[in-house]
Structure 1
Amino acid sequence: MNAQKILSQIMKQAGGGKGSSSGIGGFDAKSLLGGGALGMLVGSKRGRSMGGKAIKYGALAGLGALAWKAWQAHQEQKSAPAEATTATDQPLEQLSGERQESRSLVILRAMIAAARADGHIDAQERAALAEQIDALGADDELHAWVEQQMSAPLDANAIARDADSPQAAREVYLASVAIVDDQNPMERAWLDQLAAALKLDGDLCRTLERQAGESSA
């Protein structure tokens, strides 16, 4: 599947800034994150507004690097020695091939779950999401996969099982933070479930959330 391509587009366009209309490969952040794709999950079809869920654009741009930066800050706060990394325990941007594709899939899965966490999504929003994903160049396999994710029960443990390293877990959580409104009790509860499933401690979660907030300022 070309999940990495889709996630890369989202991240690059997010880097254009809030509401940016500068195109990347023919697409733009406002279309993708505001009026289309994920925006259809966080926007307004029944009186809900974009203010209801705060897409933190900056937290999606350079996602892996931001999650790594948050981890380093967390280690410094604990005065803990640096930990050795493995081939999979690297920021998303440093991965390639199959590892990058697998990481992209779990991050996209987490983002879709986060967007669904408040329980509000209708058939029209689902159809619009599918249309926007297709417009980004999704192949039939990825399109079918997105449809499956839209219908699957929310399962934080299943997402956590696919996070292949501590860095992957941090990226999954940060991507989810970038989608939800943590003032919404249902969405806050989802973040807490996800953190527990990913085995992220509370201090690290707060550091990741702070990183997302600073990146979108």
Structure 2
Amino acid sequence: MNAKRILDQLMKQAGGSSGAGGTDLKGMVDNLSSQFSSGSGQGGDQKGGGFDPKQLLGGGALGMLIGSKRGRKMGGKALKYGAIAGVGMLAWKAWQNSRGGADGDEAREGRPMDHLEGNQQEQRSLELLQAMIMAARADGHVDERERAMLAEQIDEMGADDELHDWVERQLKAPLDALALARQADSPQAAREMYLVSVAVIDDDNPMERAWLDQLASALGLDDQLKRELEQQAVSS
């Protein structure tokens, strides 16, 4: 599979829309809000009316993953995109903050995504992609059309046949926080999985908040670490 290639592109999309490089984040969100309220007027999605998810982040799989649900509150989500772009170091920083600034031991805690290579990097990429897909599905409203669109977007990013089949399985698999948590191969991987999940969910949606709580418990994250990871998501 070529999961790392796909995750790199998602990170690039996220980084380009987190406020860096001159991106007009507020303008983008205001434009989306306008689409939400305009119904099927000019510029809307002619198939569904109002919101074309491909316009989010200039289109692409990240826009589908995070913004595919019509009428969602987008402002808070947009502010959290940077957590995906810098997931490794942000998760590490959150752990240090939760321990009073302690220096971490990568041999014990696991290496951040940014420090991995080869097969370990590919495996971590799969873990993070799986976490993002599960979080995007947590409110139970990803329909068949949205699944097909997301799979198409990921294919356009260069997914090979094996990764395509894997994504299809993730889009249809039961939501199981314990099964997802078992994919984490280190404490650092667990922190990164939680952080990208925070970036994808809507804080005001009770079902998505419940998913985060289930995942944190399954990953063995304490309350202080949860708070630090969520703070990194909104301050990145």
TM-score tier (shorter):
0.7 to 0.9
Residue number in structure 2 paired with 1:190:
211
In the aligned structure 2, how far is the partner of 1:88 from the partner of 1:143?
31
Asked if 1 retains the 8 angstrom alpha-carbon contact of 2:109 and 2:187, the reply is no
Give % identity.
64
Change (3 A) 1:200 1:34: farther
Change (3 A) 1:63 1:140: same
In the aligned structure 1, how far is the partner of 2:141 from the partner of 2:108?
38
Residue number in structure 2 paired with 1:51:
74
Report deviation, 1:91.
Answer: 0.6
Gaps of 5+ in 1: 22-29
Asked if 2 retains the 8 angstrom alpha-carbon contact of 1:42 and 1:115, the reply is yes
Amino acid at match of 2:13: Q
The two structures have a TM-score, normalised by structure 2, of 0.79
Report deviation, 1:16.
Answer: 1.4
Match of 1:92 among 113, 131, 134: 113
Change (3 A) 1:4 1:176: same
Amino acid at match of 2:183: D
Confirm whether residue 64 of structure 1 aligns to residue 88 of structure 2: yes
Change (3 A) 1:175 1:187: same
Which has the larger Rg?
2
In the aligned structure 2, how far is the partner of 1:52 from the partner of 1:119?
21
Match of 1:75 among 90, 99, 110: 99
Match of 2:60 among 33, 36, 40: 36
In the aligned structure 2, how far is the partner of 1:38 from the partner of 1:17?
11
In the aligned structure 1, how far is the partner of 2:173 from the partner of 2:151?
15
Gaps of 5+ in 2: 25-53
Query: CA deviation digits over 1:150-172, x for unaligned, max 9?
Result: 00000111111110001000000
Report deviation, 1:124.
Answer: 1.1
Residue number in structure 1 paired with 2:224:
203
Asked if 1 retains the 8 angstrom alpha-carbon contact of 2:216 and 2:226, the reply is yes
The two structures have a TM-score, normalised by structure 1, of 0.86
Change (3 A) 1:62 1:52: closer
Residue number in structure 1 paired with 2:147:
126
Report the aligned-residue RMSD: 2.3
Residue number in structure 2 paired with 1:27:
none
Change (3 A) 1:58 1:170: same
Asked if 2 retains the 8 angstrom alpha-carbon contact of 1:53 and 1:180, the reply is no
Residue number in structure 2 paired with 1:169:
190
Report deviation, 1:50.
Answer: 5.3
Residue number in structure 1 paired with 2:199:
178
Change (3 A) 1:11 1:42: closer
Residue number in structure 2 paired with 1:214:
235
